Structure 1
Amino acid sequence: MENKGNKRFYFGITLIAIGGILILERLNLIPWSLADLLISWQMLLIAIGVFSLIGGNRTGGTILIVIGGFFLVPEMIDVPNEIRRLYWPMILVAIGAALLFRHNGCQSRMERGTGGEDINQFDDFVIFGGREIFINAQELKGGRATSIFGGIEYDFRQAKLSPQGAFVDTISVFGGCGIKVPLDWNVRNEVTTVFGAFTDKRGDTFQHSQYDPSKTIVIRGFTIFGGFEVKHV
């Protein structure tokens, strides 16, 4: 509740700032070029990145801030064309480094918690392809799912959650991830989406069922030109 309240607070501050900038621009108190810079797609990425950091998604937030900042600099100063040509390679290097850092950090936490490989956890990476995975772990703790120009779908309907619940860290870039879950599971969305969506397709069947709050799976991470889907069948 505190985390959601913080997000609403900072989102409210952002709306006030945007409205204030537009008012000042309409009153000719600031040049339109400055207003155009402050209200741009680059600043939108930076703002989403800041929200992600506030929400605890450090990897996704950092990547979005870096991408937004990279493309914001040429709007502020004159950047030689030779350097502009290096932008996308530098962004790819930055994203790759962030993914490696995230992988090492998560791997260390998993090893500290289990003493080695754990069948109740998963770590899957898909690029330019697709994969369907059936998991019947009896104390599912969660894992990581990364899809780039591809897709991953998990079937958890025969699995049981650990007493502490489960967490799924997802990264989707021009791709997607989906899960099939029992109707009594509570799915909590903490995914940051950019030009994508998080959808729960359990529909009326889920609305008329009684889910168990103690069976909670938390989905976190980020999607760029991708999405995350929850369904039962």
Structure 2
Amino acid sequence: MDNEVKNSFRSGYTRGLGFGLALMIIGIVYLGSNFGLIPFPLKNIIISWQMLLIFIGVVHFFKRKFISGVIFLFVGGFFILPKVFPALDVNFQQNFWPLILIAAGTVIILQRVFGPRFLSERWSDEWSHSHHHRHHRHWRDERNDYREGRHKWEASKESFSKNSIFGSGDHIVLDPEFKGGDLNAVFGGITLDLRRTNLPVGETVVEVNAVFGGVTIYVPVDWHVETHLDTVFGGFQDNRMPKEPLDTTRKLIIVGSCVFGGGELRN
């Protein structure tokens, strides 16, 4: 229980630190621009939605969320290039979709060869120590299970992890206890149904990141759920009809960010 409290405090501390740092940078840039110390074109680069995505990506790297960090950095970095290099052709951004198709194809091939959760679990296990109560399992075992037909996505004993890029998916968790996890939707959608599982005693964390995409989470009516998400031109709606009394010994905490995207919590 003490570890759960410490993890909760550390998570809130990280989010508060990142938000405070962002406000400081914005204030310094505006102040420097007012005094003529920062050129107007540079101000437009720093204060932009593209730079915001890059900042979120860097924060995710510090939180050791490799996959979502790469996604935010790629999208923000690509669309900010014409601002940084004005000589680029005005049609440069048309290359975004071919690059996305190449990246998506690469992801599909890697997942087919090494198993569906190779990209999410292998890197997460190497970069972090059970941020969402994860249990380390060698990625070669995951690959062998997948090839031999033993892989059960929703029935895994480990935390749930799903990345949706230009696609959609519906997932039902059948484990006796839900261990937490992360959902990343980029130009796509994810639906996660938790109505057939239970929470362990204490706090369980789910990280949701939606970039030009959407995430829908279904939970039982008696669950105690808290949402702590950063939204930019997006939102996360709580459309539940909770049933009293709520189970206060167990809590689901939803964190993350929605940038030009959104999410919804339902019963």
With normalisation by structure 1, the TM-score equals: 0.70
**Deviation for aligned residue 1:168:** 5.0
1:181 aligns with 2:219: yes
Task: Give CA deviations for 1:99-149 in whole Å, capped at 9, x if unaligned.
Answer: 858931445567828985456336776966675x65554233456767676
1:112 aligns with 2:121: no
CA distance in 2, matches of 1:126, 1:84: 18
Task: Give CA deviations for 1:36-81 in whole Å, capped at 9, x if unaligned.
Answer: 2221222122122223333443222222122222222222222256
| Aligned amino acid, residue 229 of structure 1 | E
Structure 2 stretches of 5 or more lacking a match? 1-8, 126-134, 146-150
CA distance in 1, matches of 2:76, 2:165: 26
**Deviation for aligned residue 1:22:** 1.0
With normalisation by structure 2, the TM-score equals: 0.63
1:22 aligns with 2:30: yes
1:52 aligns with 2:60: yes
Q: How many residues align?
A: 228
Q: Label 1:225 to 1:98 Cα distance change in 2 as closer, same or farther (>3 A).
A: farther
Using the TM superposition, name which of 41-50 and 87-96 deviates more.
87-96
| Aligned amino acid, residue 18 of structure 2 | Y
Conserved? CA contact 1:59–1:98, under 8 Å: no
Secondary structure at the aligned position of 2:137 is classed as helix
Higher relative contact order (CA 8 A, sep 6+): 1
Structure 1 stretches of 5 or more lacking a match? none
CA distance in 2, matches of 1:82, 1:220: 36
1:43 aligns with 2:51: yes
- Fraction of identical pairs, as percent: 32
| Aligned amino acid, residue 245 of structure 2 | S
Conserved? CA contact 2:67–2:120, under 8 Å: no
CA distance in 1, matches of 2:166, 2:72: 21
CA distance in 2, matches of 1:52, 1:198: 19
CA distance in 2, matches of 1:191, 1:96: 30
| Aligned amino acid, residue 230 of structure 1 | L
**Deviation for aligned residue 1:92:** 4.5
Conserved? CA contact 1:147–1:177, under 8 Å: yes
CA distance in 2, matches of 1:188, 1:211: 13
- Cα RMSD of the aligned pairs, angstroms, is 4.1
| Aligned positions of 1:135-174 closer than 5 A | 135-141=173-179, 151-162=189-200, 168=206, 172=210, 174=212
Q: Partner of 2:132 in structure 1?
A: none
Q: Partner of 1:103 in structure 2?
A: 117
